[in-house]
Amino acid sequence: MKTKSIFLFLGLAALFLSGCSGGHPGDITNWLQNPATPLAHEVRHSFYFTLYLILPFLFIAEGLLIYVILRFRKKPGREPAKFHDNPKLEIAWTIAPAITLVFVAVSTYGLIGRINYSPESDMQVEVTAQRFLWKYHYPEYGITISEQPLVVPEDKVITLLGTSVDVIHSWWVPAFGIKRDLLPGRIVETWFKAVKGNYKGQCAELCGPLHAEMLIDVSVVSQEEFEQWVKQKLAEKNAPADSTNNLQTSGSAETK
């Protein structure tokens, strides 16, 4: 009966693990978005480094557990084993993970710092989160947009300075390798330098009933396309002054 339960458990575990590959056997990276920035490459590298470091522990611990269950359990005509205490073993299995964690810490500590503070910035964008939208302000151009994609030039260091006006939100674009909490009353910094493309993200901090609709779109375009976009936004911004219709970018002269 117990053997049956063990096989059932193993079967379920195998099913669960096969589900983890996103249903695309053979392409295990499918379930992660392709890195689009140097940071995202580093994050991916760090992920695999940590994964390979800890996988042996999973297999050793689970293998040992299964072995011990089968080898020392109660059987007809045999009492279950009752031994305990093995100081040498206990010291070993405390020290080995501790050393492994030091490797994980050393390899990720620098990366966390690099995520939080940008190298020499080419352009700043101020991100303001508010239930349930994102507002982007480009101080160099005096442009403010909201509920529109963030448009930035490719291959440039874009520094994001973020804050929130109400609750904690989190600006997360997986392909950029960054997820930064935006806190009311504080300004946090992060950055990216992305290759051309359209990227999706999402608020990653439960912030209220419409949290799931706080989507993020980023268009990374060529320098020329970006300049064209700036021109268009500036034209839109100046238009409402002489016409009666109020475009949504008219709030761009806001304090900041």
What is the contact surface with Cu ion in residues (CB under 5 A)? 169, 203, 207, 214
Residue whose C-alpha is closest to residue 159's, from 198, 123, 115: 123
Closest separation in Å from C-beta 29 to Cu ion: 28
Q: β-pairing, 150-153 with 215-221?
A: parallel
Q: What is the token pair recorded at 140?
A: 């160099």
Looking at the Cβ atoms of 40 and 207, the one nearer to Cu ion is 207
Looking at the Cβ atoms of 61 and 212, the one nearer to Cu ion is 212
Closest separation in Å from C-beta 52 to Cu ion: 34
Looking at the Cβ atoms of 160 and 214, the one nearer to Cu ion is 214
Closest separation in Å from C-beta 173 to Cu ion: 14
Helix (H, G, I), strand (E, B) or coil at 150: strand
Closest separation in Å from C-beta 30 to Cu ion: 27
Looking at the Cβ atoms of 62 and 213, the one nearer to Cu ion is 213
- In sequence order, what are the residues at sequence separation of 6 or more whose Cβ sits closer than 8 angstroms to the Cβ of residue 233? 141, 143, 145, 249, 252
Residue whose C-alpha is closest to residue 154's, from 170, 176, 129: 176
CB 156 within 8 A of CB 120: no
